[in-house]
Amino acid sequence: MSSSSNSNQRNFVIARMAMDAANRLSAIAAEMGQLQNEIQQHHRVLNSFLRSVRTMDPARKEARIRATRERIEGLEERQQALRAEQQTLIVHGALGRLGD
């Protein structure tokens, strides 16, 4: 293979990787928006449970509050993982461009 062919192939691979990273960044942004909406919804539900004094059996109310808090924590953990992945993709993209 000629060096021109190797260079073209390398450029194609780099372009494909950049496109894949851009697509993933877009998907991350969309998922983070959905997570934020879901977290807000669960906070509203949690506040509703916390305000309801006598409308629900106390043991059931506590179980629902605990489950809602756990769900919020799980969503926030997923959001943190997405932020970390997003930062990694951005840094790798920036470093890849610096290396060119």
Range of the domain at 12: 3-99
Using one digit for the tens of pLDDT, what is the confidence trace for 2-61?
667 777 777 766 677 778 888 999 999 999 999 999 999 999 999 988 887 677 788 888
Q: How many domains does the chain have?
A: 1
Structure tokens at 44: 């509203």
Q: Could you tell me if 14 and 58 are in contact, meaning their C-beta atoms sit under 8 angstroms apart?
A: no
Q: pTM value?
A: 0.76
- pLDDT mean over 73-82: 97
pLDDT at 35: 97
CA distances from 4 to 1, 8, 10, 74, 84 (A): 8, 6, 10, 50, 37
